[in-house]
């Protein structure tokens, strides 16, 4: 790729690659600007107003305006606590919908609101009502944390959620962001991490690569090449401060726009954040998750216990990375299946939050290891 990021040359591997000429009719593409969608695409349907009041709002950041939604209990019910929800990686809107996949975030948060726990959720950049932003080419993990921090400030200032206990809930990568915010904001009553890694991103991605290779029946030589390339990429992220054609290989230089993102992500240790928490911690993990392991959740729980953090840890049976019941299809393909998030997730969150309203003890207490 050239300096402007345009594709300049394609180099084919020497083996395990066949190039065939085929003639295909060019399809008639539907543009995103048309506002059209297939009937089969997932979409969010708000609950009735007498169950959940959904308020569409805008969270302003220094570079982009985030489309957001505030889920509130009905007028007849007081707000008992207020959460900021931080979604995982990928491009999805505030409800957890994107690319034909419904992550199910809205299911959990709307249910929490019906029990008196308000929550704010927001688009990822480039999804829903949110543009990519003028700093897209300079993407960094710090931007993700900054967006969440702006959303937290907005939630604090909202008149209906002011003065109640503040909860942070993060899924997957969002769990790491939630832990960081909980460390730097001392007024947080509790942080809940769902399917969140306890190791550095390179180790997590190595496991994901192996899982994908098994599902796709990838040959041994191809898998070894993938592993070698991934190791070389992260070695360059750690050891080479400035990427140029002279300091890194051509394949790594082509990925230079990801250097800042991954270097900042590697600098954030989830176990270090856990050890600094001054609030209570809830860990929810599915035992059939192929993206983050049960071992990751155990690392988080052990770090909390070792530093006197009040922690509750649950491993949920037959649930995957999205905390949905596993089906017959492979894990990577099952994300497109229409399944609902297990009701146990919202149930455990509600019970835990109810305990936070009156419990402010900093003594070490662990309810680790519960299995559902």
Q: Is 24 part of any domain?
A: no
Q: Is 2 part of any domain?
A: no
Q: Is 12 part of any domain?
A: no
Note the pLDDT tens digit of each residue in 39-49.
Answer: 678 889 999 99
pTM of the model: 0.87
Measured between alpha carbons, how far is 192 from 201 in angstroms, rounded to an integer? 20
Question: Do 71 and 210 fall within a single domain?
Answer: no
List the CATH number of the domain containing 138: 3.40.50.1820
Of 11-25, 129-143, 159-173, which gets the smallest average pLDDT? 11-25
**Token match 């200032």: residue?**
157
Question: Do 190 and 84 fall within a single domain?
Answer: yes
Q: Does 294 have pLDDT greater than 90?
A: yes
Q: Residue 83 is part of which domain span? A: 53-199+269-371
Q: Does 194 have pLDDT greater than 90?
A: yes
Please tell me the predicted confidence (pLDDT) of residue 366: 42
- Percent of the chain scored above 90 by pLDDT? 72
Of 5-19, 214-228, 334-348, which gets the smallest average pLDDT? 5-19
Mean pLDDT for the chain? 89
Q: Is 247 part of any domain?
A: yes
Question: Do 344 and 250 fall within a single domain?
Answer: no
Q: Is 216 part of any domain?
A: yes
Question: Do 61 and 110 fall within a single domain?
Answer: yes
Q: Is 107 part of any domain?
A: yes
Q: Does 119 have pLDDT greater than 60?
A: yes
Strands, E assignment, the chain = 53-60, 65-72, 81-86, 97-98, 101-102, 117-122, 166-171, 188-194, 280-286, 311-316, 370-371
């Amino acid at each position: 790729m050239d300096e402007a990021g345009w594709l300049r040359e394609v180099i084919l591997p020497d083996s395990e690659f066949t190039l065939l000429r085929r003639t295909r009719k060019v399809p008639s593409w539907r543009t995103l600007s048309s506002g059209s969608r297939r009937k089969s695409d997932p979409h969010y349907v708000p609950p009735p107003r007498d169950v959940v009041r959904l308020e569409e709002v805008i969270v302003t950041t220094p570079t982009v305006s985030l489309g957001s939604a505030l889920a509130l209990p009905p007028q007849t019910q007081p707000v008992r606590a207020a959460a900021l929800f931080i979604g995982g990686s990928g491009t999805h809107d505030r409800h957890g919908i994107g690319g034909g996949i419904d992550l199910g975030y809205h299911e959990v948060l709307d249910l929490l609101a019906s029990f008196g726990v308000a929550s704010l959720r927001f688009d990822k950049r480039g999804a829903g009502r949110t543009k990519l932003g003028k700093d897209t080419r300079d993407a960094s993990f710090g931007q993700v944390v900054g967006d969440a921090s702006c959303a937290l400030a907005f939630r604090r200032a909202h008149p209906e959620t002011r003065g109640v206990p503040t909860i942070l809930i993060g899924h997957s990568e969002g769990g790491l962001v939630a832990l960081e915010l909980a460390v730097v904001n001392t007024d947080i009553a509790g942080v809940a991490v769902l399917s969140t890694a306890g190791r550095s991103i390179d180790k997590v991605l190595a496991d994901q690569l192996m899982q994908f290779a098994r599902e796709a029946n990838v040959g041994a030589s191809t898998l070894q090449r993938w592993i070698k390339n991934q190791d070389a990429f992260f070695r360059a992220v750690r050891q080479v401060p400035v990427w140029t054609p002279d300091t890194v290989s051509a394949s790594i230089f082509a990925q230079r726009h990801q250097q800042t993102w991954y270097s900042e992500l590697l600098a954030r240790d989830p176990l270090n954040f856990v050890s600094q928490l001054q609030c209570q911690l809830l860990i929810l993990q599915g035992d059939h998750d192929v993206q983050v392991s049960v071992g990751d959740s155990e690392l988080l729980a052990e770090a909390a216990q070792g530093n006197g953090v009040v922690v509750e840890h649950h491993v949920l049976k037959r649930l995957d990375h999205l905390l949905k019941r596993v089906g017959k299809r492979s894990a990577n393909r099952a994300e497109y299946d229409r399944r609902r998030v297990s009701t146990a997730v919202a149930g455990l969150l509600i019970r835990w939050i109810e305990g936070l309203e009156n419990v402010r003890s900093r003594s070490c207490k662990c309810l680790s290891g519960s299995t559902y």
